[in-house]
């Protein structure tokens, strides 16, 4: 009889439907603020990747002379394996196996490659342990560089360990002198992983920790997808941005867990068309556009969306920071569906950014225009104000829009008043706190000439 089978089959499809819906909700498809990404386990199970269907044409670094004891210099073995995988006629995988630690010197892995290469990292990669062991004839500004690559995936269950502590303790670092001052001495520190002049990149599922400087940086890159990374360094580790983006476009950064000593994500000049989504950030310095316009430079940043994220126990929330004397513009920026948990400066525009106390006042500035803050809620650290719009005397911030903003003190009941200076915009809904200091309309005169705009 077929009839008794129908309920069982129906139950199966109902279960399948609910499973799919649950997966969509986990990925942030449900309305409202997405759930933060799950923390990856400390030790992930190691599958047999040789038998897995997604690895093809494998080059295992052990077969090219790598030892994996964490002591031997594995640079040459990795370069030879890279060259062979890169020049393979069919899609190839450069495989770094689990259970091994590989020490690499500063290295440039160059393209273009003949195929869409995969770098599968299941072991641990690490540089020499500190500046004293860094070769004197090699630049101290970068460690692993991927140059002119078109079509590459970097992923795995492994760890990229920057071994940054000895770099952070150089006398020149901000926390080494009295009251945060620096001391004289060499200061160059390497970026952990840098992609330069590359396109069609995927970086996913890795753990990165303790970089001497930025953990990962994209310079002059296009069509980038970053997903499911865990990035960690101590809260007092200087300049350890999680991800920095410069002169790059069409970048998607999704589902990251970041805690570090600087910005979780920082966006530099020349960047546009970025989507940053489902980030759990903190402790850190928040998510920042800038700093821009240093040394009277021109900077253009536009079409940036930061959404569905959590920022906690951080010095800043969502921030735009520019130096006096610059030119260009920051425009068409959206911050929405962001939860703040005990954050200083949850919403901040600072057009007087300066790292010392002796910056000279200048009239020109990077203009800030068309910024939307929607559904920004949570608590702020009362050592700072919940909203700070510090805009240039000569180049006001314009078209700032706030909607569904509710920021309450993490301790106490007194809600601090926002600060505005030369800031123009509007509130679409009642905000907590009210932003009465925001001026309506548009400034009658902007001194910056059109040729300096982007």
Catalytically active residues are 262, 285
The angle at the Cα of 261, spanning 260 to 264, to the nearest 5 degrees, equals 55
- 77, 104, 215, 365 from 69: Cα distances, Å: 14, 12, 23, 52
Q: What is the 3-state secondary structure (H, E, C) of the chain?
A: CCCCHHHHHHHHHHHHHHHHHHHHHHCCCCCCCCCCCCCCCCCCCCCCCCCCCCCCCEEEHHHHCCCCEEEEECHHHHHHHHHHHHCCCCCCEEEECCCCEEECCCEEEECCCCCCEEEEECCEEECCCCHHHCCCCCCCCEEEEEECCEEEEEECCCEEECCCHHHHCCCCCCCCCHHHCCCCCCCCCCEEEEEECCEEEEEECCEEECCCCCCEEEECCEEEEEECCEEECCCCCCCCCCEEEECCEEEEEEEEEEECCCCCEEECCCCEEEEEEEEEECCCCCEEEEEECHHHCEEEEEEEEEEEEEEECCCCCEEEEECECCEEEEEEEEEEEEEEEEECCCEEEECCCCCCCCCCCCCCECEEEEEEEEEEEEEECCCCCCEEEECCCCCCEEEEEEEEEEEEECCCCCCCCCEEECEEEEECCCCECCCCCCECCCCCCCCCCHHHCC
Cα–Cα distance, 191 to 167 (Å, whole number): 11
What are the φ and ψ backbone dihedral angles of 7, each rounded to 5 degrees? -60, -40
446 token code pair: 């902007």
- Gap between the Cα atoms of 43 and 163, Å rounded: 19
């Amino acid at each position: 009889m077929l009839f008794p089978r129908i309920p069982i089959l129906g139950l199966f499809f109902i279960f399948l439907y609910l499973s799919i819906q649950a997966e969509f909700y986990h990925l942030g498809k449900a309305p409202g603020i997405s759930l933060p990404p799950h923390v990856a386990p400390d030790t992930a199970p190691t599958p047999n990747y040789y038998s897995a269907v997604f690895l093809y044409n494998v080059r295992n670094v052990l077969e090219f002379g790598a030892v994996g004891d964490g002591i031997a210099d594995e640079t040459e073995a990795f370069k030879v394996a890279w060259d062979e995988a890169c020049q393979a006629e069919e899609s190839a995988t450069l495989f770094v196996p689990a259970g091994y630690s590989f020490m690499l010197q500063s290295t440039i892995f160059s393209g273009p490659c003949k195929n869409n290469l995969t770098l599968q990292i299941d072991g641990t990669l690490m540089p020499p342990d500190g500046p004293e062991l860094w070769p004197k004839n090699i630049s101290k500004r970068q460690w692993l560089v991927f140059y002119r690559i078109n079509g590459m995936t970097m992923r795995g269950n492994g760890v990229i360990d920057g071994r940054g502590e000895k770099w952070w303790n150089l006398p020149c670092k901000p926390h080494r002198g009295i009251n945060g001052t620096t001391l004289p001495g060499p200061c160059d520190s390497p970026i952990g992983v840098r992609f330069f002049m590359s396109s069609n990149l995927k970086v996913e599922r890795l753990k990165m920790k303790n970089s001497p400087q930025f953990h990962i940086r994209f310079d002059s890159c296009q069509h980038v997808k970053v997903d499911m990374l865990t990035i960690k360094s101590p809260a007092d580790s200087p300049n350890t941005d999680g991800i920095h983006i410069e002169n790059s476009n069409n970048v998607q950064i999704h589902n990251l867990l970041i805690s570090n000593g600087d910005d979780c994500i920082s966006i530099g000049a020349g960047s546009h068309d970025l989507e940053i989504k489902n980030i759990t950030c903190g402790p850190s310095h928040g998510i920042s556009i800038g700093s821009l316009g240093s040394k009277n430079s021109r900077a253009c940043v536009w079409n940036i969306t930061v959404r569905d994220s959590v920022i906690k126990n951080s010095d800043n929330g969502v921030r735009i920071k520019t130096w006096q004397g610059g030119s260009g513009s920051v425009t068409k920026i959206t911050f929405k569906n962001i939860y703040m948990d005990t954050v200083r400066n949850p919403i901040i525009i600072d057009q007087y950014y300066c790292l010392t106390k002796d910056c000279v006042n200048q009239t020109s500035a990077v203009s800030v225009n068309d910024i939307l803050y929607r559904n920004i809620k949570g608590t702020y650290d009362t050592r700072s104000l919940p909203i700070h719009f510090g805009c240039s005397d000569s180049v006001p911030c314009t078209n700032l829009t706030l909607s569904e903003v509710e920021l309450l003190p993490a301790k106490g009941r007194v809600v601090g008043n926002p600060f505005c200076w030369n800031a123009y915009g509007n509130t679409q809904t009642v905000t907590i706190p009210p932003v009465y200091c925001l001026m309506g309309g548009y400034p009658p005169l902007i001194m910056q000439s059109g040729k300096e705009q982007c």
